[in-house]
Amino acid sequence: MKIGLYPGSFDPITFGHLDIIERSARLFDKLYIGVLNNNAKHPMFTVEERAALIKEVTKHIPNVEVSFFSGLLAEYVDVIGADAIIRGLRAVTDFEYEIQIAQMNHELNSRVDTIYLTTSTEYAYLSSSIVKEIAMYHGEVTKFVPEAVAFKLKEKANKR
Ligand code: COA
């Protein structure tokens, strides 16, 4: 059984992330979404909120499981027995950062390789921070995130 791990902050999940999840779920028998629990990043959504949203918007994909991790990704890979890490590449600017962490993860755990999927062009400009900013100014975000996520973003904006 081939197991993939798609790690990230997912603060919050966007259509760009979902595109990578749907496509990589077809490549593995099981795909774990590893939600990074790192409060140093000051996320808008708690790790439980982020995981609940991912569960909600991936419920149509049977081989996806949502999990949390903190600490080193290279160690978490062994905890769940993943065969590969999946990451999405949006543009050349992602490449420099991504190659650095892929090489470092391989150095820390030689069993692990990182596989990249190029983000579909319609999502190449998307980022969670930009979506949050638009939502905080009460802008429309339903083009960028699933409905359940847009609803939670609206709730956060209204609380401010
Ligand atoms: N479509 C749209 N947007 C995408 C995307 C896609 N396919 N892929 C990434 N993004 C965006 C996200 O929206 C996010 O935008 P933001 O910065 O505006 O919020 C950004 O790219 C990156 O977010 P994400 O994919 O959630 O990942 P991350 O960079 O926050 O997480 C980890 C990176 C979890 C892989 C890395 O931090 C890690 O491994 N941490 C664990 C600690 C560790 O092992 N450190 C040593 C590493 S060598």
Note the pLDDT tens digit of each residue in 69-110: 999 999 999 999 999 999 999 888 889 999 999 999 999 999
pLDDT score for 126: 95
Distance (Å, whole) CA 131 – CA 128: 5
Domain boundaries of the chain, sorted by first residue? 3-121
What percent of the chain stands above pLDDT 70? 100
17 among known catalytic residues: yes
What is 3-121's CATH topology? Rossmann fold (3.40.50)
pLDDT band (50, 70, 90) for residue 13: very high
One DSSP character per residue, 80-140 reads HT-SEEEEEE-SHHHHHHHHHHHHHHHHH-TT-EEEEEEPPGGGTT--HHHHHHHHHTT--
- With a cut of 90, say whether residue 41 has pLDDT above it: no
pLDDT score for 40: 79
Active site residue: 17, 30, 50, 132, which one?
17
Between the CA of residue 150 and those of 33, 51, 69, 100, 141, what are the distances in Å?
Answer: 20, 15, 25, 32, 6
Closest-CA residue, ligand 1 atom 27, reads: 8
pLDDT band (50, 70, 90) for residue 33: very high
pLDDT score for 140: 96
pLDDT score for 92: 82
- Distance of CA 75 from the midpoint of ligand 1 (Å): 17
DSSP state of 145: S
Read off the pLDDT of residues 105-142 as tens digits, 9 standing for 90 and up: 999 999 989 999 999 999 989 999 999 999 999 999 99
**157, two tokens:** 């904006």
Closest-CA residue, ligand 1 atom 11, reads: 127
What percent of the chain stands above pLDDT 90? 89
Is the model's pTM score more than 0.85? yes
Which among 114, 109, 79 is positioned nearest to 97, based on CA atoms?
Answer: 114
Q: Are 131 and 45 in contact (CB under 8 A)?
A: no
**114, two tokens:** 């990182």
154 among known catalytic residues: no
Closest-CA residue, ligand 1 atom 2, reads: 16
